[in-house]
A and B are shown apart, each in its own frame.
Chain A
Amino acid sequence: MDLSDTPAEEEFRARLREWLAKTLPGLPPQPSPDDWPGRRAYDLGWQRRLHDAGYAAVHWDASPAIRLIFLEETEKAGAPYVGANFVGLLHAGPTIAAEGTDGQRARWLPPILRGEEVWCQGFSEPDAGSDLAALRTRAWRDGDAYVVTGSKMWTSHAEVADWCELLVRTDPDAPKHRGITWLAMPMDAPGITVRPLRTLAGSAEFAEVFLDEVRVPAANRVGDENDGWRVTMVTLSFERGTAFAGEVVACRRVLGELAGAARENGRWDDPALRRRLGRLHAEFRALWRLTQWNVSAAQASGGVPGAGGSVFKLRYSHARQELYDAAAEVLGADCLDLDRPWTLDRLSSLSYTIAAGTSQIQHGIIAERILGLPKGR
């Protein structure tokens, strides 16, 4: 067992640190959370800088250990989050790289890496959330195109996206998990209506997308027709692997800020609060170690994160909610003030046990796929 950097990792870390120290002070100010075009421009600009410095493909090309160092160092330095580039860099990009043709890679990967195109995820539907394979959006083959009709839900960044990784049902008679196809849909195609959805945190973070006979070129199909479920599983294993790792570092920073705030307002004298924060400190330290453990396992088995990601996702999503509940205790009545940053974070943390597979779904994955318990209802 070795937690120290190899010489190559050490060099990567040192070079990245130096670049971050040089680059971050020159960044433009962050746009307001509701300014979607502003956020798109800002996030693409950040990706462009990463590209020019040689870090564009760090989420996919490099070893998982290098990815982890990248997430750790950028978060510690307070660098921008992946933001609007999330789906392109962490979902669609790796999927196209793994399952696409040479022509598809050449068409879609460079603009993601250069910070020129934004992707959104058209997976979930009103009746197909955790039961993703229940999706009903239909696609018919018509000449050299698929004609798509249906609707998608909870589509992050749909308003500002150029492309959508879209799951459609191409064979309604096939068993539920067959009959699904993965398409890259241009968001400017006729027949697409995007309606922003307001979240309980008050922001319009994602959208409903309505598809009315949208023509998607058949050449935009990634993987075989009716083989989209397998392609999707590749995408989801990336999602649960290291997608949240950088946030763990951020949570540790928040804990330090909470302790500082508690010292200032006198709450620190309460041993129960101190012990609660001490436990959270232990939790986030352990979650970082778990990430390193999972990443080392993935590295040993060829790069795709395994079911261990479900353990991480389950534990992290609850820890994040507990962190902001503890913040509320530190703040006292101020926790009801929406202008305190931790208040919004507390509200948005409520999505963590739901998005990317609910906690109940993760429990089911662990029970069936890791522990080998019988399938049940």
Chain B
Amino acid sequence: MDFGYPVLTLLIAFPLVAACGLFFIKAAPVVRYYTMVVSLIECLLAVPLFQYVPNAEFQFVEKIDWVHQWGLQYYLGVDGISILMVLLTIAVLPLCVMCSWTYIGKREKEFHFCLLFMTSSVLGVFCALDLVLFYVFWEAMLIPMYLLIAVWGGDDRRYASLKFFLYTLAGSTLLLAAIVAFRITGGTFSIPELMEQSFSFRFQFWAFLAMALAFAIKVPMFPFHTWLPAAHVQAPSAGSVILAAVLLKMGTYGFLRFCLPLTPAASDYFAPMMIAISLISIIYGGAIALGQSDIKKLIAYSSVGHMGFVTLGIFLFNLRGVEGALFQMLNHGIVTGALFMMIGCVYERSHSREIEDNMGMGKYMPAYMFFWGLMALASFGFPGTNGFVGEILVFVGAFQENTWIGFLCVPGALLAAAYMFRVSLKMAWGKPSTAAGWKDLNAREWIYLTIPAVFVLWIGLAPSPFFKIIDPSIDKLLNDFDKRKVAHLEAEQPVKTAANDIFSVFAVNK
């Protein structure tokens, strides 16, 4: 599709270029209006993406030589798996600007710069089709997120931001090693070209481990999740929203984009382990969330559980599972993003995130409680909301794969209902502490809560347009995966020897 201009590059570059304009603005209100306008223009720039034709091909492709000697390319494109993530990222930006309108009391300019920079780099992650380009965007995202937590965060921000940075960067250095290994073995950094090749099991084994660690930390999967609650609790609302809505998706997107197509045999080999970890994440996340007294921490741990559903769906390797996983990625972005914005709303009123300090709002803030209720229902997958669509698909996929896996998911769903009901009941009908004097939602809050609410109901009631977009890509992904996996199983019987090869990577390999 040719629009006469590079759509994706414009989407990626515009926020960054516009962010530089912030340095010429002095007054804080102007900074906010400027960023708002930038984010709305960014949404307009995304309109051509609706011309996406639902097939399995990469579209809006741009390809330019970057470093010829090393085969690096500036190579962008989107398919059914990434386009929804791109749209989600762009849609979240104006909401983030709105929810930090009065929340950020200092250094507004830098704050909005970080938001825009972040959006650019996350969009780059979802659009990149060159491994190194992907890595560049993947790492570039760390700096603004670090600053968002470290400068505008809560009291313990220093610890949380450092933990976030060290965890994610330590994981992604191994991703870099895997990327280089792909280049040496496959002869290219181009992801579509690498998807066409098949690698030896031994290679896949190591590449999968290196990549999976980076992605698992980002998701985050148990036991690499400990940075997440700390980061979420300390981050300002907009930081939490971005973190929950798009950043965690980068991990699961990595699994879908790299692990399954590039290392199918290893993915298959490690699937039982990944499924087990996902189930542990689901149940552990839910159980810990149930015990939280801090609303933000509760939602943070619930993210661990929800993302567990996503990774579970991915490693089931069946259509329903992967569809469910992709839907859950989108849903979690919308719902948890909205929940974090709502926690921001209430924090601005009570200056506390404890459930005890935010009780009994039902009478004084009915509109707020309406939205909260809707998001809570969506969060635990109530029929009619988007959460239901995603979760039921993962369930179906799990039962298709193995009845036990299906059964083991059930407590996760029940726990989600339990903790969401617990916190919602207390917030709505608990004994009012300070809620008596609070004003209900203002116009700005109405706007930024209505938008996700519309999507919750839209996806919940009429998900078929979304299926249409993602299905061809998922079909292709799974078909290729099955073909390659079978080919490997026939070609070699490598599984047992691979584990014995742990030290062979150190051997001289001329």
A binds B: no
Residue ranges of A at the interface with B (Cβ–Cβ < 8 Å): none
Residues of B within 8 A of A (CB): none
